[in-house]
Amino acid sequence: MIEIGNFFFKYRNLIFIFLYLALFIPSPPIFSVAIFGPSFYIWPIGLGLLITLSGQLIRGATIGLAYIVRGGKDKKVFAENLVTEGIFNHCRNPLYVGNVLMLLGVGILANSLLYVAVFMPLFLFIYQAIVQAEENFLRTKFGPAFDQYCTRVNRWLPDLRGLGTTFAGMAFNWRRWLLKEYNTQYVWLTGITLILFLNYRSLVTPAYQYPVLFFLLGLWLLLYLSVRYLKKSGRMQA
């Protein structure tokens, strides 16, 4: 499992591209109009947005409080320090938990049974392998300190006890969140916009569908380019 995790760690960015494109593969629906009637839209849209937003909030809180570099080194698992502060005090892999919820949410939003039933379990298997490879590295490098951390904090299920104390005792670095997350935010918002346009066109009057679509896509692109410029020019730093 560790060898599988090390393999997928090298190509984890490609995995996200694959999962993003899989959202648009034709699939049987999770929620059927025939069963849910007039309230059909409430279920995939409401539930999907709620879950994907919760994943984004977890990622944002994690990065804003105590960021850990997940990029590795030379495409291999690497960490300079053992980070146990912030949200890492409540879950060992909060960024991954956030990713899982974000992807599950957009899968439900797309109303794709294929995505939720096939691609999500595959994604969870890959993530479990990557986590085991990372834990093997951390255990080798940090020894008893990491083992003690593991006995205190869950791998996947966040422990919400003391969460208020965590936020009260740390300053949220919104600049770091923005600079680290603007790529993810752009792809996430663009994906949601396209899913809503392709699956739920009747929510908007036909004459306004394309103007609304292009306005939102243009807005997300403008915000993306603005933050990218601020980062690359050094005008905004974490």
In this prediction, residue 203 carries a pLDDT of 87
Nearest to 81 by CA among 67, 97, 98, 62: 67
pLDDT of residue 127: 95
pLDDT of residue 92: 96
* pLDDT for residue 152: 96
For the chain, what is the mean pLDDT? 92
Confidence band for 96, pLDDT divided at 50, 70 and 90: very high
Signed CA dihedral, 211, 216, 222, 228: sign only? negative
b/e map of 150-170 (b: 16 or more CB within 10 Å)? Answer: eeebeeeebeeeeeeebeeee
Tokens of 232: 């690359």
**pLDDT at 71 (0 to 100):** 56
Q: What is the pLDDT of residues 20-55, one digit of tens each?
A: 899 999 999 999 876 666 678 889 999 999 999 999
- DSSP H helix total and E strand total for the chain: 11, 0
The answer on pLDDT for 230 being more than 60 is: yes
136-171 tens-digit pLDDT = 999 999 999 999 999 999 999 999 999 999 999 999
Kindly state the percentage of the chain with pLDDT values over 70. Answer: 95
For residues 122-134, give the mean pLDDT: 95
pLDDT of residue 72: 63
pTM for this prediction = 0.92
- Going 219 to 27 to 37 to 101, the CA torsion angle's sign is negative
Q: Are 87 and 58 in contact (CB under 8 A)?
A: yes
| Position with higher pLDDT, 8 vs 134 | 134
Given a cut of 90, whether residue 5 has pLDDT beyond it is no
Give the pLDDT confidence score for residue 66 in this predicted structure: 84
Q: Is the pLDDT of residue 73 over 80?
A: no
Whether the predicted pLDDT of 89 surpasses 90:
yes
Task: Quote the pLDDT of residue 36.
Answer: 67
**Long-range contact pairs involving 138-145 (C-beta distance under 8 Å, separation at least 24):** 138/79, 138/82, 141/79, 142/82, 145/82
